[in-house]
A and B are shown apart, each in its own frame.
Chain A
Amino acid sequence: MMQLLGATGAAAGLAGCGGQSAVETDTPADDGDGGDGDGDGGGADDETPTPTATPVQVDSESLATIQELAYVTNQTLPVLPLQEKLAQSFQTTDDWSVPSKDSDAVQTYWPTEWLPRSGEWTAKDGSDDDRLTFAQWAVPQDSQYNPWNGKNFGEARRMLFDRFMQYNLATQEYSGYVVSDHSLDGTTLTLNVREGQTWHNGDAVTATDVANQIKLDIYNGGSLGEFVAPEDDGMISERVTAVDETTVEMELVEEVNGDILLAYLQPKYLVAHEGSYGEFVTALDEAESEDERSQALADLTEDTTPEPVGCGPFQFEDADTRRTLLTKYDDHPDADNINYPEVEYLYKPENQGRWNSLINEETDGSATLFMPSNKLNQLPDSVQVSLIPRHWGLGLVFNFDEEPVDDPRVRKAIAHVVNREAVAKNSGAGTNSKIAVSYPSGLTGEFNGQIEGAWLEGVVDEFETYGRGEAQTDEAAALLEDAGYEKSGGTWQKDGEPLTIPIAGPSGFSDWVAGAETVVSQLKEFGIEAQAEMKDTSTYWGQDYSNGDFVVGLQGWASYDQSHPFFHFQWLFDSWDAQNAWNLPSEFESSVLHDQVRDGETVVPSDLVAALSTASE
Chain B
Amino acid sequence: MLKKYIIFALIAVLGFYLASTFKAIPFGANRLGDLNNPETVSAFYLQKSPEDLHVANTITAIVVNFRGFDTLGEVTVLFLAVTGLMSILYRKEEEETEERLAIPSSSLVRTGAKILFPLILVLGIYVFVHGHLTPGGGFQGGAIIATGFLLMLITYKTFYTNHNVMTWLESIAGLGFVAAGLYGLIVYGSFLQNTAWTGNLNDLISGGLIPLIYIFIGIKVGTELTSVLDTLLNIKPRKK
Chains A and B form a bound pair: no
Which residues of B are at the interface with A, using a C-beta cutoff of 8 A? none
Which residues of A are at the interface with B, using a C-beta cutoff of 8 A? none
